[in-house]
Amino acid sequence: MKRVQLVLLILLLVSYALVLCNRYNPVWITVILSAAIAFGSLSSLVSMRKLYFLAGATPHAALFAVTLSIPLTRLLGIGSSLVYSIIIGIALVYIVGYSIYKGVNSDIATAVFVGFTASGSVIAAYYVLTYFPVEYDLTALIMGDPLLSSIEQAILSAILAITVFIIVYLTYREQLSLGIDRESAMLSGLRIEVYDAIVFTVLGLVSIAMLRIVGYILEHILVLLPSSIAVISAKSAREALYISIISAITSALLGLHLGVMLNISPSGLTGLILLLFYIISLAGKRK
C-alpha cells in the first residue's frame, strides 16, 4: 500500500469519525477509537515479537485481575479497583513472561497460566455476586459495551491509546530486531530485558483498561487479527503498523455504527468485520 493511499485512508477515517460524533455520543466514538488504536498498535507488536501465545492468554489475566480487584477493594477499604487490577494483571503477565524467558516451554506455561486465571476469574466473580452488592456489571467484562462508558473512561482510554502508540512507534525498530534474531540483538548490546518489560507492561495495561469496552471475548480477536491482516497486505514492517491500526479503526467505527443502527452489540460486530477484512485480505493475496 502506497503512502498516498495510507494518508487518504486516514483522512477518510477521520472524516467518518467526525460524522459519527455529530450523530452519536462523542464518548462512544472516543472509547471505540481509543480501543482500536491501542489494540492495533499492540497487535503489530505482538506479531513482530511472535508472542501470539502470550497475547491470547493476557485477556484471561485481565478478567481475573478486574474481578479480583472488586472484593479486594471492598475488603481493604482503601485504593481503587482499577489500581489493584492493573497491579495484579501486569504481575501475572510478568510471571508467565519470565517463566518463558527462563526456559519453560511456552505452550506449557500458557496452559498453566490460562487454567489458573480462568478458574480464578470464576471464583472471584462468584464471590462478588454472592457477598457484595453488584456495583460493577460483570456481564460487560465478558461481552463488552462501549455505549456504557463514562467521560472519565473516555479520557483515560484516549490517554492510554496515545501512550501505547508512542511507545510502540519509538521502540519499533528494536522490537523488530528482537523478533527477527534475539541472539544477534543481544550480542549487539540491546537491553532485551527492557524491551521485554515494555511488551509485558503494554499487554497488561491495554487488556485491563479496555476490558469493559471491548469485552473479554473480543480482546482475543482484536489483539491478534489486525496484525494478521497487516502481515498479508504490508510491504514493509513500518507499513504493517499503519495497516494494523487502520484495519482496527475501520472495523471499530463500522461496528459501532452498524451496532447502534441494528441494535446489535458493537463489540461483536467489530470482531466480525475484522474477521471479514482478514478473509478478504487472504483471498486477495492468493490471487
Least confident residue range of 29-33, 119-123, 204-208, 281-285: 281-285
| Model confidence band, residue 2 (pLDDT cutoffs 50, 70, 90) | low
Q: Which cell is 266 given?
A: 458493537
Give Cα 78 distance to the centre of its chain: 28
| Model confidence band, residue 137 (pLDDT cutoffs 50, 70, 90) | low
**Average per-residue pLDDT for the chain:** 84
The Cα–Cα gap between 194 and 253 comes to 34
Give Cα 102 distance to the centre of its chain: 25
Q: Residue 27: pLDDT above 70?
A: yes
**Predicted TM-score (pTM) above 0.75:** yes
Alpha helices of the chain — where are they, by DSSP H?
3-23, 26-49, 52-76, 81-101, 106-131, 138-143, 151-170, 172-180, 182-187, 192-209, 211-214, 216-233, 237-262, 266-286
Q: Residue 162: pLDDT above 90?
A: yes
- CB of 274 within 8 A of CB of 247? yes
Q: What is the pLDDT of residue 283?
A: 81
| Model confidence band, residue 167 (pLDDT cutoffs 50, 70, 90) | very high
Q: Residue 264: pLDDT above 60?
A: yes
- CATH class belonging to 3-286: mainly alpha
Residue 166 CB-density burial (10 A; 0-12 exposed, 13-18 middle, 19+ buried): exposed
Q: H or E segment at 152? A: helix 151-170
Q: Could you report the per-residue pLDDT of 73-88, keeping only the tens digit for each?
A: 888 877 788 888 989 9
Q: Residue 135: pLDDT above 60?
A: no
Q: What is the pLDDT of residue 159?
A: 93
Q: Residue 48: pLDDT above 70?
A: yes
Q: What is the pLDDT of residue 164?
A: 93
Q: Could you report the per-residue pLDDT of 187-245, keeping only the tens digit for each?
A: 888 888 888 889 889 988 898 888 878 888 778 888 888 988 888 888 888 888 888 99
Domain assignments of the chain as residue spans, ordered by start: 3-286
Q: What is the pLDDT of residue 4?
A: 63
Q: Could you report the per-residue pLDDT of 89-111, keeping only the tens digit for each?
A: 899 888 888 887 777 887 788 88
| Model confidence band, residue 181 (pLDDT cutoffs 50, 70, 90) | confident
Q: What is the pLDDT of residue 192?
A: 84
| Model confidence band, residue 166 (pLDDT cutoffs 50, 70, 90) | very high
